[in-house]
Amino acid sequence: MRESAFWNLWPEMESRVSAIQVTRQGVLAAALSCSLTALVSALSVGGYTLYNFLDALIFAIVAWRIYRLSFSWSIFGFVFFLVERIDGVMRGTIKINLVGWIIAAAFVMCYVNSIRATWFLRKNKEPQVEPSDKALVS
């Protein structure tokens, strides 16, 4: 039995079903980013402001749009996550440790896989028609 495409680091996508399953990695990453940001903001740990709730709202929208198989929102979520991490490191609000880097790398892979999967879905949206079949369709 094939193992789930959801848990693979670099899953193969052979059908629409497997590609949709892979997009759920991006949904999970965005939903966790949203939840953790909102939780930390609600607890007011580390001097968080109302802008952090806006970040949580943006991640919630990203999760919803990736769930709806949006290629552009998959890219936006990836870029937004990277910008957030880089900004946090530059301002010193994110402490750099091994566990943090491993979690960030896992989130990056989830976003990258959702970009791959939504691209696969976009590329394979219409059924392939052979040139010889086009004459029959016309």
Give the tens place of pLDDT for each residue, 40-72. Answer: 888 876 666 788 889 999 999 999 999 999 999
pLDDT tens figures, 89-135? 888 777 778 888 888 999 999 999 999 999 999 998 756 555 555 55
d(CA 21, CA 132): 33
Ranking 7-21, 36-50, 80-94 by mean pLDDT, the lowest is 36-50
User: Phi/psi at 115 (nearest 5 deg)?
Assistant: -65, -45
Report how far residue 4's alpha carbon sits from residue 135's, in angstroms, rounded to the nearest whole number.
Answer: 40
pLDDT value at position 126? 58
123 touches 71 (CB < 8 A): no
For residues 55-75, b (16+ Cβ closer than 10 Å) or e, as one string?
bbebbbebbebbbebbbebbe
Confidence of residue 1 (pLDDT cuts 50, 70, 90): very low
pTM of the model: 0.80
